[in-house]
């Protein structure tokens, strides 16, 4: 039997996202209803709510709101009824969510507390489908001088040399360093390669008077700090 799509105005008043939001507040809306409010209009035969549901369950790797991080602009525009404008709106919602989470995490950010650093980077990195290594460069008072993405790899590996780290750190006149990278698998347990790279960078940094304070591995709502685990003293 062919599925029948309801127009928004054909839905019961209490089920229409705008009216529901006005009466009960945005917290009462389901994920698809929130997205439908942003999309505003549907297309022929589909309401904005129908399109929102399609978007949220389109990704092969994730469903629900997480799909907003994983669907590309091309994948979004492949959905009938989703043009370039709606695709851009959807991607911007995902980016806005990440920035809101990072802004909130920044309030408690302390470079002496690994959990706050992990929180700060969590929403940026936990959705990535390839490994990225970031270098945070600090002064003697552990104030941030700058941060830089040093390497972008595949789904399970990235390449970085101590030489690249030291050159970048010296350009910023840094004294203390923190490495941070993600595991797309979601498991933050350090690999043998992670451990070897960390030790090589620590040794090279010490020779020229720099200090590697920590290496933090980000998973899905989990992290491992080399410093907390006792790998760095």
User: Could you tell me which CATH class the domain 110-225 is placed in?
Assistant: alpha beta
* Residue ranges per structural domain of the chain: 8-102, 110-225
Q: What is the pLDDT of residues 120-156, one digit of tens each?
A: 889 888 888 899 999 999 999 999 999 999 998 765 6
Q: What is the pLDDT of residues 218-230, one digit of tens each?
A: 999 999 999 999 9
Predicted model pTM: 0.66
- H or E element that contains 176: strand 176-182
Determine the Cα–Cα distance for residues 91 and 191; give it in Å rounded to an integer.
32
CA 224 to centroid of chain Cα atoms = 17
pLDDT value for 158: 67
**Average pLDDT value for residue range 208-220:** 96
Q: What is the pLDDT of residues 31-86, one digit of tens each?
A: 888 888 888 888 888 888 888 888 888 876 666 777 787 788 999 999 998 999 99
- H or E element that contains 91: helix 84-106
pLDDT value for 97: 81
Structural contact between residues 200 and 221, judged by C-beta atoms closer than 8 angstroms: no
pLDDT value for 223: 96
**Phi, psi dihedrals of residue 211, rounded to the nearest 5°:** -125, 125
- Unique residue bearing structure tokens 């700090």: 225
pLDDT value for 226: 97
* Pair of tokens at residue 113: 């507390």
């Amino acid at each position: 039997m062919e599925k029948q799509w309801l127009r928004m105005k054909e839905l019961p008043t209490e089920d229409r996202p705008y009216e529901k939001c006005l009466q009960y507040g945005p917290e009462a809306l389901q994920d698809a209803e929130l997205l439908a409010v942003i999309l505003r209009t549907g297309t022929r035969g589909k309401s904005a709510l129908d399109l929102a549901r399609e978007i949220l369950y389109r990704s092969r790797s994730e469903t629900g709101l997480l799909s907003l991080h994983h669907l590309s602009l091309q994948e979004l525009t492949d959905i009938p009824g989703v043009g370039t404008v709606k695709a851009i709106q959807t991607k911007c919602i995902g980016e806005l969510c990440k920035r809101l989470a990072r802004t909130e995490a920044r309030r408690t950010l302390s470079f002496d507390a690994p959990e706050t650093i992990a929180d700060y980077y969590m929403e940026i990195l936990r959705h990535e489908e390839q490994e990225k290594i970031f270098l945070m460069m600090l002064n003697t008072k552990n104030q941030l001088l700058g941060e830089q993405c040093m390497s972008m790899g595949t789904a399970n590996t990235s390449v970085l040399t101590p030489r690249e780290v030291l050159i970048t750190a010296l350009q910023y006149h840094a004294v203390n360093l923190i490495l941070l990278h993600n595991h797309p698998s979601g498991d933050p347990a350090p690999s043998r390669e992670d451990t070897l790279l960390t030790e090589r960078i620590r040794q090279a940094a010490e020779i020229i008077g720099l200090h590697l304070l920590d290496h933090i591995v980000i998973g899905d709502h989990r992290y491992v700090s080399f410093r907390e685990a006792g790998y760095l003293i």
